[in-house]
Amino acid sequence: MDEADRQLLRRCRVRLVSDLQVAPLWDALLNRELFTPNMIEDIQQAGSGSRGDQARQLVTDLETRGSQALPLFISCLEDTGQDSLASLLRTSRQAAKRDPEAIRSLDLVSVELKPEELRGVKHPSKPTQGNLTPVVLGPEELWPPKLRPEVLRPEVSRPVDVGPGGFGDGCAQGSSRGNADLAYVLDADPCGYCLVINNVNFCPESGLGSRTGSNVDCEKVQRRFRLLHFMVEVQCDLTAKKMLQALVQLAQRDHGALDCCVVVILSHGSQVSHFQFPGAVYGTDGCLVSVEKIVNIFNGTSCPSLRGKPKVFFIQACGGEKKDPGFEVASTAPEDSASGSNPEPDAAPFQEGPRTFDQPDAVSSLPTPSDIFVSYSTFPGFVSWRNTTSGSWYIETLDGVFEQWAHSEDLQSLLLRVADAVSVKGIYKQMPGCFNFLRKKLFFKT
């Protein structure tokens, strides 16, 4: 979609979300091949599944559907009797073509938020038009500070890496974001796909227990990455084979108009022998899928439309079954000790012998791992802890850090905060880490 059509959609967003009748549109969108059946299903499941949430997701996804998406959408509106919306978009589009500045004079709202996103956010009063209240919020108003003592340490200064010369202040972040030589450019909206695989219930034969609390993690991840402008898809309780199928299907999608791809896996895990990336995650059938096989599905050969674009993987699973008692330091704050409820490990024994699920195609064809970032919840070989009521330490901390700092810090800086915060939790310790093969800094779109 060209920039003029994208801007028009955004300026008409509030009106569309308010008035759009989505139920009659599904067949028309399919008939004109504007969306696939899977995409329609994703839109229907967006948020609470209400008409408003579906309309909001539809308008967001429409921007990714090619240069003819807007005129085709207008035709769909006409086919379903939504003539006033069709007329608004068609007339505005024609006016914008005659005079590119005309679109800026449209008396429409450019920012539209859900009611729950506006709670507690102060903004200047503005005159209303009909039943709409125009609200345009600046970055600080969109991101009100929410400090979480177990996650954030305000007393720690935040240096910004500005190259070999040393450190600078926060002003350098803006230059890094805007400089394509220093940071990936995430201009697309949505930025890309985010696939969340949430394995909670395992078959009895696997010998693996239910991962109570993982649904809390899943909800946090789903909400967080939607706020970061990703199209989030959740798949639950997949066998090893179905996990691979879901990942391959994601890699085979057309990412040409998108700028990034994220995969989040919540499951039991184990230590395995490996060439590139340590660890493996379990399907619900008790079979393993190695992390390196997951990552290589998205390499330049298997997924050409993501070449040169960041591919980020978050693995919430044990790297083994070792429990780390840690070592003594001068003092430990009371909040760093274990809470009342006992956490559970996402662990399983180390797997030796014949390699099946984690065998790469051929050693000689292993790809150069450029533009790949893999974040592990724990150090290889060790347990990753999960609370049955509040979710895993790693995901809970990740969500809090991203909420506070994603608007100003790059991915690696964010995960340093996560590692620091998780490392001081509990009686048994946990140390998140990462394999970073990004070529540039990655700032999420907020």
Given the residues 218, 229, 260, 268, the one annotated as active site = 268
Rounded alpha-carbon distances, angstroms, from residue 413 to 79, 109, 158, 214, 419: 49, 34, 9, 25, 10
Find out whether 13 and 58 touch, Cβ atoms under 8 Å: no
Torsion angles phi and psi, residue 50, rounded to 5 = -75, 165
Catalytic, out of 12, 194, 218, 318: 318
φ and ψ at residue 223, rounded to 5 degrees: -65, -45
User: Could you confirm whether 318 is annotated as catalytic?
Assistant: yes
Cα dist. 159→168, 173, 179, 418 in Å?
6, 10, 19, 16
The CA distance from 176 to 341, in Å, is 42
Give backbone dihedrals phi and psi of 363, rounded to 5 degrees, phi first: -60, -40
4 contacts 103 by C-beta, under 8 angstroms: yes
Provide the token pair at 265.
Answer: 């896996």
- The contacts of residue 380 (CB under 8 Å, 6+ apart) are 271, 278, 279, 319, 320
Would you state the structure tokens that stand for residue 235, as one six-digit string?
């798949």
Which are the contacts of 342, defined by CB distance < 8 A and separation ≥ 6? none
Residue 212 CA, chain-centre distance (Å), reads 22
**229 in catalytic set:** no
Instruction: Just list the catalytic residues.
Output: 268, 318
